[in-house]
Structure 1
Amino acid sequence: MSELKEGQKAPDFSAKDQQGNTVSLDQFKGKTVVLYFYPKDDTPGCTAEACNFRDNYQGLTAQGIVVLGVSTDDEKSHDKFVNKHSLPFTLLADTDKKIVEDYGVWGEKNMYGKKYMGTNRTTFIIDENGVIAHVIKKVDTKNSTAQVLELLSTAK
């Protein structure tokens, strides 16, 4: 599993969203995409991150930014999460772990001394040409939108 870096072409993907529609990165050519990976639907950190994007969603879309969340949860779990928290953006079900592996965010984690495999919370900002412009590895779940906007404003 190689680590993706800024300046590399973002791996294309195709996955089902919370409504069973197939979504691929190719659909968003010409737009900036915030592709954020999170461990699990409806857990405290993941909910804080999703709600932060929700609360700032209009400002992001006004700048032409598309928000896509990815976890290894299934479509049904995503649908419940979206409805419970009124999330206005797309969540992708990566149940076969292809996207998390392609983006290098699937790896060993450690909680309370127990090691296990899981998704490392990471955000990729992909430019209009499908190139990774920024990688955020230390995501501030309560201020994830601010992190994204700060990087985008310094890039201009």
Structure 2
Amino acid sequence: MLHIGDKAPDFELPDADMTIAKLSDYRGKPFVLFFYVRDDTPGCTTQAIEFSDLEGDYAALGCAVAGVSRDDCIRHGAFRDKHGITVRLLADKDGGVCQAYGVVVQREVDGVSREGINRSTFIIDGGGRIRHILQNVTPKGHAAEILKLVKEL
């Protein structure tokens, strides 16, 4: 389990264009990494669109934003294009980064235990340390809430 002040786990993940993104790409500036359940579901769509709508505000603070789910690059591309999403979407197909950040949970669906993702957001400072962890987030208004926290860094 990660805590505030911990070094953020490094990662190398492909985005919707199959370009590799690494945590080290974002060193020296604040970085928001949000984990979401699945492309094209109502809550995840709201969350990604709201982060995209505020991307200019984040950029003005020198902050980059990326979302991670276990969907593949092709699905990310279709999701991005369908909804005009501009934040970078990273594909953690094998779930290793989701595990490293502690966002994998077991959920019971129709009496069957299944692995899922706890919608969570990590604010990482320019030195690679976790400054804020928000879990079980409500998608609506979340991007604006995170922006306020980034402004306080």
Q: Aligned ranges for residues 94-133 of structure 1 at < 5 Å?
A: 94-111=92-109, 114-133=112-131
State the distance in 1 between where 2:107 and 2:2 align: 19
Give aligned-pair identity as a percent. 41
State the distance in 1 between where 2:89 and 2:14 align: 8
- 1:141 is displaced (CA, Å) by 0.4
Q: 1:148 aligned to 2:150?
A: no
Q: Which moved more, 1:101-110 or 1:35-44?
A: 101-110
State the distance in 1 between where 2:122 and 2:62 align: 16
Task: Report the TM-score when normalising by structure 2.
Answer: 0.94
Q: Which moved more, 1:84-93 or 1:8-17?
A: 84-93
The one-letter amino acid paired with 2:41 is: T
- Find the counterpart in structure 2 of residue 30 from structure 1: 28
- 1:114 is displaced (CA, Å) by 4.5
The one-letter amino acid paired with 1:126 is: I
State the distance in 1 between where 2:45 and 2:14 align: 20
- 1:54 is displaced (CA, Å) by 1.2
For residue 143 of structure 2, give the secondary structure of its aligned residue in structure 1: helix
**Number of aligned positions between the proteins:** 153
Cα separation, partners in 2 of 1:108 and 1:31, compared to 1, 3 Å:
same
- Find the counterpart in structure 2 of residue 89 from structure 1: 87
State the distance in 1 between where 2:99 and 2:136 align: 19
State the distance in 1 between where 2:91 and 2:68 align: 6
- 1:87 is displaced (CA, Å) by 1.1
Contact 1:20 1:75 in 2 (8 A): yes
- 1:29 is displaced (CA, Å) by 0.5
The one-letter amino acid paired with 2:39 is: D
Contact 1:140 1:147 in 2 (8 A): no
State the distance in 2 between where 1:113 and 1:7 align: 38
Q: Which runs of 5+ in 2 are unaligned?
A: none
Contact 1:125 1:135 in 2 (8 A): yes
Contact 2:69 2:92 in 1 (8 A): yes
Alignment partner of 2:132 out of 134, 148, 155: 134
Contact 2:118 2:136 in 1 (8 A): no
